[in-house]
Amino acid sequence: MVDVRAANPDGSRVRDRRVLGGTKLQARAWGVERERELIEGRGKPVRTASVTFHKFLAEWWPTYKAKGYRPSAIRFVEKYLRVHLVPHFGDVPLDKIDRQALDKFVATLFAKPGRWSSQAEPTNLSSTSVQHAMDVLHTVLVAAEDWKLLDKLPKFPTVKRDARGLSLDFYDVSETERLLVGARDEHDRLLLLFALHTGARAGEQIAVTWPDIDLHAKRVDLRRSRVEGVTHESTKNRKGRSVPLSDPLVKALKAARHRRGPLVFCVADGSPLTPTHLRRALGHAARAAGLRLLRWHDLRHSFASNLTKAGTPLKQVQDWLGHSTITMTMRYAHLAPHGGREHLAGLTSATTNNSQTR
């Protein structure tokens, strides 16, 4: 009987045990060759114990963080690993995470209490949060497959989006006007007006400098972003963009010129604002105007929604928002006037249209 054991570079163990005919010398020679095959990865190694999800994370997570992702992206992945994935899959071997395990995991996630579960009407985890958890799990398992610790990636189930993941709230044009009137001062009013009329993300707005603004051409170049105290020389999708400035915004920017430093939006000593400054400005204005309180990011949705309602082509809205693909911008498509019926005239001839008109 020959019992061959070897260790893989990833730390897992392989073993091949069988009974052979012949002499001890022949059996020993076969064992030496078989050991060489297992170490070199030839033949069909038999894993005695698959690496667990938690053990793999201990090796993989430092390499993921070293790839240069933004701190916010790192924390996003870390949160879903800590809150959902490790508690569920921590001690599970990687090769046991199959389609059945994934289906059960999705069902478990949908049964979890959501963010607002402490309110009068408890809610479960939204489909968006479930999809985020599955996306992070997919990233981990793809890495495990690349590291040769997983023979085949399981087929992931489709997560059906619910209304919370599809609906967007925003201030319409009349509400934005009331919001601006409710601002505490001209500084807060400019903060709100800039967000409502450019669609800039919070980090992009905080990082805007006066050289980025061309008041003569009525244009702002959004080319960088400040996230959690760190200024990045790129936006979220790593692509800069130019957005035209409305006449009211040009007028407000001219009146707000200062010598406190290059930043357009800053505190008295010229240092950058924080997201807290933005939220406070929005909260005060919303309360003063008697409006429901939305998130700061919903001012970006307001920009896109009001443009779409006014008939602005979605492709143009996409460019101004800086979306990498039109798919994200399509969430505003239902707001287009007439639902796009004004374009159906191209389906019939001019003669037909004229006769119907008469």
Active site amino acids: 201, 236, 297, 300, 323, 332
Quick count: other Cβ atoms within 10 Å of Cβ 160?
A: 11
Q: Check: CB of residue 218 under 8 Å from CB of residue 244.
A: yes
Q: Check: CB of residue 240 under 8 Å from CB of residue 223.
A: yes
Please say whether the dihedral angle defined by the alpha carbons of residues 193, 197, 199 and 205, taken in this order, is positive or negative.
negative
Q: Within the chain, where are the H helices? A: 24-40, 53-65, 71-80, 86-89, 99-110, 127-146, 163-166, 173-181, 186-198, 202-206, 247-255, 275-289, 297-309, 314-321, 326-329, 350-357
Q: Check: CB of residue 115 under 8 Å from CB of residue 173.
A: no
Q: What is the DSSP letter of 146?
A: H
In the numeric block, the tokens 């959902």 are attached to 84
b/e burial code for range 6-36 (CB count within 10 A of at least 16 → b): bebeeebebebeeeeeeeeeebeeebeebbe
Q: Six-digit token pair at 279?
A: 């939220």
Pairwise CA distance, residues 194 & 183, whole Å: 13
Q: Within 183-325, where are the H helices? A: 186-198, 202-206, 247-255, 275-289, 297-309, 314-321
- Three-class SS state of 305: helix
Determine phi and psi for 268, rounding to 5 degrees: -60, -35
